[in-house]
Amino acid sequence: MAKKKLLVVSIMVFSLLLFPLTALGAGHGSASSGFYSTETLAEFDGTDDNPAYVGYHGRIYDLSDTFADGSHAGHDAGMDLTEEFYEAHEAELMEGREVVGYYLSRAMTEEELANYDGHNDNPAYVAVDGIIYDGSDTFSDGTHGGHEAGQDLTDEFQGQHGEDTLMAMPVVGALVSYELTLDELAEYDGQDGNDAFVAVDGFIFDVTESFEDGEHFGHEAGQDLTDEIEEADHLRSVLPDVPVVGVLVE
């Protein structure tokens, strides 16, 4: 029993060191407004006292009151159920519910975003507050209300009208600033004034505020920590509160 308690305490200490205390407050059982990768979303499967989160058109909803033991009408929580809900006409399950996060299926830089301008049969994507939306049904020929698709329109989409317009658009991913190889990621080691970045599941997160001198509990910044996260997979629950800033490339 003593060894088991020691293991639990060690894991809790690792959580506090790897991520900010405020992030832990938004783990299992509470809402956040960050991004959930496929692997992170899978942790919120409605079993073992975890909430039941599902993805729908790029948004994450808490359906714990509907998914008993993580299942509803043959569908499992912890997954993107956009196609399943569309085919089963169950979109009404999301009506009136608060969005607790966004599905991190992809990430792109502003340069890549510019390719999705709504012209030449390209989708019309826009970014607002770091979230990329598919405005293809709203931006006729790549334009809406004098605004051009393929850009960051955060300032232009402020206010209630902007919020209502965005809610009608599917979320397709996150706007990021970096595309880094493992060698380039190593430069963000949190030492000598450098920011502290880590990679998980191919995405890059900024953990500068929680890595002192680039290290916490034996884990060093500037590396791919996917395997370490797998060994303590409950830590995925705090990833949505760590800023995603880039993607890992070959």
The 10 Å Cβ neighbour count of residue 224 is 17
Token representation of residue 165:
């317009």
Task: Let me know the angle formed at the C-alpha of 205 by 202 and 208, rounded to the nearest 5 degrees.
Answer: 150
Query: What's the confidence (pLDDT) of residue 86?
Result: 81
One-letter amino acid at 12 equals M
Identify each DSSP E strand in the chain by its residue range.
35-36, 53-56, 59-62, 71-72, 75-76, 79-80, 99-103, 107-108, 125-128, 131-134, 143-144, 147-148, 171-175, 178-180, 197-200, 203-206, 215-216, 219-220, 244-248
Contacts of 193 (CB under 8 A, 6+ apart): none
As a whole number of angstroms, the distance between CA 177 and CA 246 comes to 6
Query: What's the confidence (pLDDT) of residue 30?
Result: 28
As a whole number of angstroms, the distance between CA 67 and CA 76 comes to 8
Query: What's the confidence (pLDDT) of residue 27?
Result: 34
Query: What's the confidence (pLDDT) of residue 234?
Result: 55
Query: What's the confidence (pLDDT) of residue 235?
Result: 60
Mean pLDDT for the chain overall = 84
Whether the Cβ atoms of residue 101 and residue 35 lie closer than 8 Å to each other = yes
Query: What's the confidence (pLDDT) of residue 233?
Result: 55
How far is the CA of 250 from the CAs of 168, 178, 181, 198, 247, in angstroms?
35, 13, 6, 16, 10
Contacts of 59 (CB under 8 A, 6+ apart): 94, 99, 101, 102, 103, 171
**Nearest C-alpha neighbor of 75 from the set 48, 49, 53, 103:** 53
Token representation of residue 188:
């963000």
Q: Which residues of the chain have pLDDT under 50?
A: 1-33
Contacts of 27 (CB under 8 A, 6+ apart): 234, 237, 238
Query: What's the confidence (pLDDT) of residue 169?
Result: 95
Token representation of residue 79:
């997954």
**Nearest C-alpha neighbor of 236 from the set 101, 69, 130, 133:** 101
Query: What's the confidence (pLDDT) of residue 170?
Result: 96
